[in-house]
């Protein structure tokens, strides 16, 4: 028995109302566009070829203008006659003539001469003067070969001597045009003007063709630039279009050829552009399809609402199942799955609670801090009875630290933190047998500052271990001051100074707490301090180390007030 499922009903509505009209309109659009696009693309390439032809003609006109200027200017000819047999700049007069010729080139370059055209004057001794400031190594190496192509018996006319230079095709090659400048009295050349057009100019010009092959040939049919696969003579090729253009004054030929395969690319792109218009019809048909499928889609929306509410924490929500189609079967399966998920979540929560209790019990069984405190208190009383005030005071300091460790997660005021540091210093004095002094200078406005407990101890410990153990009169000073933007706490010591490179490395690490920490104790302690400060006071909290001018180091903590939890007024400590 045929079952008209929900999926099949949705599929049929989209096929009838969207896909069939879309395919029909696309085929009609492609047939109408194909013929007109070929004509438009041909016309576009004709325009591009005309632009190329005009640009090449302008470049030839520029070269002709520059050569006429040099040949017809009497002063320039006189300078060239004086410079005709110069092999090198040996005298001051040679240098003067050299500068005069460069001034002539500067005047020509100030005219609208193409930037890709370079001009060189070569005298009878093959001494070369350039119109620019480029490296002369290439032209000096090619001047003998170029002069062999120049017909010295054809003065006052442009000679097209072809392409030369460069290590390989398309790399540093130039097309050269020569003009012989004669001495009117001796009837022999005084210089040869070489005009070089860079292959970069030709390549940039010919690359403007979007498709097809284009190449440039001189009057003798020699290849100048472009696609090397084209021949200067027109050949009949089936399925291709060829166009030739003549360049005035030079008899150069610009050839263009494209095959049917190359034409098909732009036509396809145009077809896809036309397809965008067809998408407007797609929107119309989609609207009609939405109206029909809205009723069909209603069960899906109910499924979405149930899943969304379950994801937001409503574990009792279930789908009301009606009918016996595939959507009803899906709803029944979903309800079963939700029941299983609810039981699974409850089991996981119960397991997590049990695990937390077990961890707390295990931690409590590991250490018995109250037992230790009571034991130390008994020892303290015994020492007091024997009038041993020194060791009883040390035990009293140790008990204060143990009580602080028991409440390490509770905050403390800056005043309380400094009091704990006093107990810690008392212990370190006995442990390391050093006459250590602790000086505290707290601004009255900062004494009630609330901060993490034992936050300053790693800094003091680093100062003692790394700088004060071998010092004769060790001293640590703690100062706090309130600034307009926060509170600054500075801890200084008179011990050993640190290496500057090490300080820079530590300060970079402290500025980026997300970086990997190395294994050194000092770095781990300081990184722990800055991370706790930033968790409490925000990302603007900072810690920086610096050497003092003569001896010792300083550690500066900046705590912004914008993220601070608050101050505890004097007299309200626990």
Task: Estimate the crossing angle of helix 326-366 against helix 260-311, to 10 degrees.
Answer: 60
Q: Tokens 């505290």 correspond to what residue?
A: 440
Q: What's the CA gap between 127 and 143, in Å, rounded? A: 9
| DSSP class of 474 | -
Cβ atoms of 195 and 177 within 8 Å: the answer is yes
- List alpha helices for 474-542, DSSP H: 500-511, 521-537
Distance in angstroms between the alpha carbons of the first and the last residue of the chain:
83
| DSSP class of 569 | P
**Structure tokens that stand for 135 in this block:** 């490296």
pTM of the model: 0.42
Long-range contacts of 13-22 (CB under 8 A, 24+ apart): 13/289, 13/292, 13/293, 13/296, 14/289, 17/285, 17/286, 17/288, 17/289, 17/292, 18/282, 18/285, 18/286, 18/289, 21/281, 21/285, 22/278, 22/281, 22/282, 22/285
Cβ atoms of 376 and 399 within 8 Å: the answer is yes
Half-sphere exposure of 354 (CA within 13 A, CB side): 6
**Which residues are CB-contacts of 469 (< 8 A; sequence separation ≥ 6)?**
432, 434
Q: What's the CA gap between 273 and 269, in Å, rounded? A: 6
Q: What's the CA gap between 503 and 213, in Å, rounded? A: 65
Q: What's the CA gap between 342 and 301, in Å, rounded? A: 22
Q: Name the residue ranges covered by the structural domains of the chain.
A: 26-232+239-258, 301-366, 436-560
pLDDT at 1: 42
Q: What's the CA gap between 532 and 541, in Å, rounded? A: 10
* CATH, domain range 436-560: 3.30.565.10
- Listed residue (151, 155, 175, 177) closest to 164, CA to CA: 175
pLDDT at 296: 66
Half-sphere exposure of 260 (CA within 13 A, CB side): 5
> Residue 249 phi/psi, 5° resolution?
70, -15
Q: What's the CA gap between 226 and 217, in Å, rounded? A: 9
Residue 431: alpha-carbon gap to chain centroid: 54
Query: Tens digit of pLDDT per residue, the chain (574 long)?
Result: 445 556 566 666 666 766 677 777 777 777 776 667 667 767 777 787 888 888 888 888 888 888 887 777 778 878 888 888 888 888 888 788 888 888 887 777 766 566 778 888 888 888 888 877 776 777 777 888 888 888 888 887 888 888 877 654 445 688 888 888 887 776 778 888 888 888 888 888 887 776 678 888 887 888 888 887 788 776 656 667 778 888 877 788 888 887 766 666 666 666 677 667 767 766 776 667 667 666 666 777 777 777 788 778 777 777 777 777 777 777 788 788 888 888 888 888 887 877 776 565 545 444 445 545 555 666 666 666 676 666 666 776 776 666 666 666 678 888 988 888 888 888 788 777 788 888 899 888 888 888 888 888 888 888 888 877 777 788 999 999 988 888 999 999 888 888 888 888 888 888 875 445 454 444 567 888 888 888 888 888 899 999 888 888 999 999 998 655 566 555 455 4
Residues 80-109: b if buried by 16+ CB within 10 A, e if exposed: bbebbebeeeeeeebeebbebbbebbeebb
pLDDT at 515: 47
Half-sphere exposure of 318 (CA within 13 A, CB side): 15
> 10 Å Cβ neighbour count for 496?
16
Q: What's the CA gap between 55 and 247, in Å, rounded? A: 10
**Structure tokens that stand for 213 in this block:** 């092959």
Q: Is 531 helix (H, G, I), strand (E, B) or coil?
A: helix
pLDDT at 166: 60
**Which residues are CB-contacts of 474 (< 8 A; sequence separation ≥ 6)?**
434, 435, 436, 437, 464, 468, 493, 494, 495
CATH superfamily of 26-232+239-258: PAS domain (3.30.450.20)
3-state DSSP helix/strand/coil % of the chain, to nearest 5: 55, 20, 30
Q: What's the CA gap between 49 and 206, in Å, rounded? A: 9
**Which residues are CB-contacts of 245 (< 8 A; sequence separation ≥ 6)?**
49, 50, 52, 53, 253, 254, 255, 256
Q: Is 179 helix (H, G, I), strand (E, B) or coil?
A: strand
pLDDT at 460: 87
* DSSP class per residue in 105-123: HHHHHHSS--TTEEEEEEE
Residue 483: alpha-carbon gap to chain centroid: 38
How are beta strands 223-226 and 158-164 bridged, if at all? unpaired
Q: Is 249 left (phi over 0), alpha (psi -120 to 50) or beta?
A: left
Our CA dihedral for 41, 45, 47, 50, rounded to 10 degrees, sits at: -160
Q: What's the CA gap between 200 and 172, in Å, rounded? A: 8
> Residue 89 phi/psi, 5° resolution?
-80, 85
Q: What's the CA gap between 520 and 78, in Å, rounded? A: 83
């Amino acid at each position: 028995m045929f079952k008209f499922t929900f999926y099949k009903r949705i599929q049929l509505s989209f096929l009838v109302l969207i896909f069939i009209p879309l395919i029909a309109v696309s085929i009609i659009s492609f047939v109408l566009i194909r013929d007109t696009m070929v004509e438009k693309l041909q016309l576009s390439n004709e325009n591009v070829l005309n632009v190329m032809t005009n640009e090449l003609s302008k470049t030839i006109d520029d070269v002709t203008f520059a050569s006429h200027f040099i040949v017809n200017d009497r002063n320039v000819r006189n300078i060239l006659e004086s410079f005709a047999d110069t092999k090198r700049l040996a005298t001051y007069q040679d240098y003067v003539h050299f500068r005069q010729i460069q001034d002539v080139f500067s005047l020509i370059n100030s005219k609208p001469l193409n930037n890709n055209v370079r001009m060189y004057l070569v005298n009878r001794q093959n001494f070369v003067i350039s119109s620019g400031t480029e490296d002369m190594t290439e032209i000096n190496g090619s001047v003998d070969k170029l002069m062999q192509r120049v017909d010295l018996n054809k003065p006052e006319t442009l000679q097209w001597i072809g392409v030369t230079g460069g290590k390989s095709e398309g790399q540093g090659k130039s097309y050269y045009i020569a003009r012989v400048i004669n001495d009117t009295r001796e009837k022999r050349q005084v210089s040869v003007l070489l005009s070089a057009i860079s292959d970069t100019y030709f390549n940039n010009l010919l690359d403007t063709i979007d498709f097809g092959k284009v190449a440039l040939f001189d009057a003798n049919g020699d290849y100048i630039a472009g696609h090397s696969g084209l021949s200067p003579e027109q050949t009949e090729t089936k399925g291709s279009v060829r166009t030739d253009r003549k360049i005035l004054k030079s008899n150069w030929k610009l050839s263009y050829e494209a095959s049917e395969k190359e034409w098909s690319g732009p036509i396809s792109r145009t077809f896809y552009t036309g397809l965008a218009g067809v998408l407007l019809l797609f929107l119309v048909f989609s609207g009609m399809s939405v109206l029909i499928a809205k009723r069909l889609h209603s069960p899906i929306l109910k499924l979405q609402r149930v899943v969304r509410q379950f994801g937001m924490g409503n574990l009792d929500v279930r789908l009301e199942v009606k009918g016996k189609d595939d959507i009803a079967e899906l709803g029944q399966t979903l309800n079963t799955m939700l029941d299983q998920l609810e039981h699974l979540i409850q089991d996981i929560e119960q397991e997590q609670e049990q695990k937390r209790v077990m961890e707390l019990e295990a931690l409590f069984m590991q250490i018995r801090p109250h037992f230790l405190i009571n034991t130390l208190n008994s020892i303290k009383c015994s020492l007091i009875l024997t009038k041993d005030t020194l060791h009883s005071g040390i035990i009293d300091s140790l008990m204060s630290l143990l009580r602080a460790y028991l409440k390490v997660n509770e905050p403390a005021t800056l005043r309380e933190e400094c009091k704990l540091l006093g107990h810690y210093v008392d212990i370190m004095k006995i442990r390391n047998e050093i006459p250590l002094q602790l000086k505290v200078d707290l601004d009255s406005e900062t004494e009630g500052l609330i901060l993490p407990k034992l936050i300053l101890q790693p800094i003091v410990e680093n100062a003692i271990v790394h700088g004060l153990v071998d010092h004769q009169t060790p001293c640590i000073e703690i100062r706090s001051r309130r600034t307009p933007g926060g509170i600054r706490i500075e801890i200084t010591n008179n011990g050993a100074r640190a290496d500057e490179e090490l300080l820079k490395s530590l300060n970079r690490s402290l500025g980026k707490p997300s970086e990997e920490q190395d294994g050194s104790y000092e770095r781990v302690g300081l990184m722990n301090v800055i991370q706790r400060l930033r968790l409490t006071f925000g990302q603007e909290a900072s810690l920086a180390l610096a050497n003092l001018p003569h001896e010792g180091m300083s550690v500066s903590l900046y705590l912004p007030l914008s993220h601070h939890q608050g101050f505890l007024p004097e007299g309200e400590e626990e």
